[in-house]
Chain A
Amino acid sequence: MLGYFIRRVLVLIPVSLAVSMVIFSIIHLIPGDPIDNLLKIGAGPEQREIMTARYGLDKPLAVQYWIWLSGVLQGDLGTAIVARRPVADLIAQALPHSLALGLCALAFSTFFGIVLGTIAALNRDRWPDQLIMTVVLLGSTVPGFWLGLLLILVFSVWLGMFPVSGARDWSAMVLPVLTVGLGGTALVARVTRVAMVEAGQRDFLMLLHAKGMRPARIQLRHVLRHALIPVVTILSLRIGWILGGAVTVEVVFARPGLGTLLIKSLNQHDYPVVQACLLILAMAVMLGTLAGDLIQAAMDPRVRAAL
């Protein structure tokens, strides 16, 4: 297991390098001179020189990338143009909010998704299945931000149960988690159902029945156990999807997280901040995938043997 972990982490290194290159090159792909994109409009020539020297913009691209990357590795993400503060500070402020939302939403969707998917699979083609699957399909056809707006309208404005926006205490978390989590629940429930149905057709179940095992135990201890393997795979692959949902939902609820920061910076053309946000999100996606792979390896001995 340790060997698997090390190999899996080593695989991440080239991937993260590739990702960082893409994110680095954004500044050069944007139309116009990179310096203009890094400076506030109306900046003087001396600021221009400082910036050029800082980013080595007069040097070859590879050198520039190296300067940027070594800065990033030391925690120097540059200076925000609009806020005129170290980007690292902005990120440090925003990250906990996003992390809390993302993890809660992940836990929410995993739990309810698996429960609903299992109920649907155990009642295949009967009414609980059809009801759950219809609701789930509906849930995945609604834009996340709009669902958030509706929830605000109903629970905050009309019923006054939760605050409309912000991140002051736990009650401000309920609606955002619900919004992000419902979309994720739909995904997990769908995958769980299919995986349960498939696992229920495996050959080895015959022998479990032959051993005199209770059908309920077979379903929960063996069928569900097998079904969870693909569920974990999909979850780890789509962890970014849930994060992506969090990005848009944060804006709706005006939570001061990464998503809000990203969208604001995009609109203000504050590219150092955009780069940093994307870098953090990309890392979160990669760590999520890694976690998923590790859980999967812990659950399935054949995976450990294969790598």
Chain B
Amino acid sequence: MGVVALKLSDTTLGRVMCRPKGVIAGTWLILVVFVAVFAPYLTPYEYDIQDLPNAFRAPDAAHWLGTDEFGRDMLTRIMYGARTSLSVSTIAIGISVFCGMCLGAASGYFGGRFDRAVTAVIDLTWSFPEILVALILVAIIGPGVTGAMVAIGVAYLALFTRLTRSQIMAIKSETFVEASRSLGASHGHILMRHLLPNTLAPVIVAAMLATGDAIILEATLGFFGLGAQPPTPSWGGLMSSGTAQMFKAPWIIIIPGVAVAVTVFAINLFGDALIHALDVRARVRES
């Protein structure tokens, strides 16, 4: 079982990387993750040391991406910002995927009153824009990294619950599951060994794409001052502080935005390649 799974993932990744789209997108993502993880060793300056005489410096040799209103190096802050943005969005989506799969699997597998309740709540939140759900939650939890993570996580809960539920519903009546049940397998065994592994491919793709959206959402919360609080740099926060200086130093807002756009674009391209490689187009789209 383990060997087979490993082989499958090898070929899947192989197939993704065979496409030029996949290679370019993958390279950028690896680069961003690398920078985010090793930011303290890579950055030319400290992210929070102010250097007022050097404020508002346009990009030059000393500061490749210029400096902000306090003279802090933008490149450094972007690199640290990647750290915040990526960790918030991936952890948020991680929470979302985990809770969504549990909820979706339970409601799809057991059905009944529980399923109806879950479906009702999910349908309710589904039509509401993620940004509104996240704003409400931040209002409750309070701004900051934790607040943003939980808010984004809950905002995407509906997506993964729906997806998992529909997948489980689709395969739970298939012959191999029936056969396993008639052989006396427990609910836990059927769920863990048969149903959940089969829902994994579309969930992975959806999680990939949702991470892109989550980065935008995190940036939006940050832009409104509801994300990571200063002096911790985040991409949204950088743009937020840049608006006041927009006419004087446009690079302060342009650069973080480009970072967000390119990263989310790369995630989407990679996700596209993944869809082709896993051949799950129809399954991802139906939810």
Contacts and interface: CB of A to CB of B under 8 A. Distances in A.
Nearest to B129: A244
A263 interface: yes
Interface stretch (B26-34, B69-77, B218-226): B218-226
A152 B219 contact: no
A278 B128 CA distance: 11
Interface stretch (B1-9, B89-97, B243-251): B243-251
A247 B219 CA distance: 15
A237 interface: yes
B140 A240 contact: no
B212 A149 contact: no
Q: Which of A143, A149, A267, A286 has the most chain B CB within a 10 Å cutoff?
A: A143
Interface residues of A, number: 45
A241 B124 contact: no
A146 B140 contact: no
A247 B221 CA distance: 12
Given A26-B140, A194-B285, A141 B129 contact: no
A166 to B, nearest CB: 15
A19 to B, nearest CB: 7
Q: Is the interface of B mostly helix, strand, loop or mixed?
A: helix
Given A146-B260, A266-B138, A274-B139, A244 B130 contact: yes
Nearest to B139: A266
A2 interface: no
Nearest to A286: B127
Contacts of B239: 145-146, 149
Contacts of A143: 216, 219-220, 223, 236, 257, 260-261
Given A26-B140, A248-B220, A243 B129 contact: yes
Interface string A122-147: 00000000000000011011111110
Interface residues of B, number: 40
B223 A145 contact: yes
B136 A278 contact: yes
Interface string B207-250: 00000100010011001111000000000100100010011001
Interface of B: 120, 124, 126-132, 135-136, 138-140, 142, 212, 216, 219-220, 223-226, 236, 239, 243, 246-247, 250, 253-254, 257, 260-261, 264-265, 267-269, 285
Given A30-B140, A153-B254, 5 more contacts: A140-B268, A146-B223, A153-B246, A248-B223, A271-B139
Interface of A: 15, 18-19, 26, 29-31, 137-138, 140-146, 149-150, 152-153, 157, 194, 237, 239-241, 243-245, 247-248, 251-252, 262-263, 266-267, 271, 274, 278, 281-282, 285-286, 289
23 contacts: A30-B140, A31-B142, A141-B216, A141-B261, A141-B265, A143-B257, A144-B220, A149-B243, A149-B246, A153-B254, A157-B247, A237-B126, A237-B127, A240-B132, A244-B131, A244-B132, A245-B129, A247-B135, A248-B224, A252-B243, A262-B135, A266-B226, A282-B128
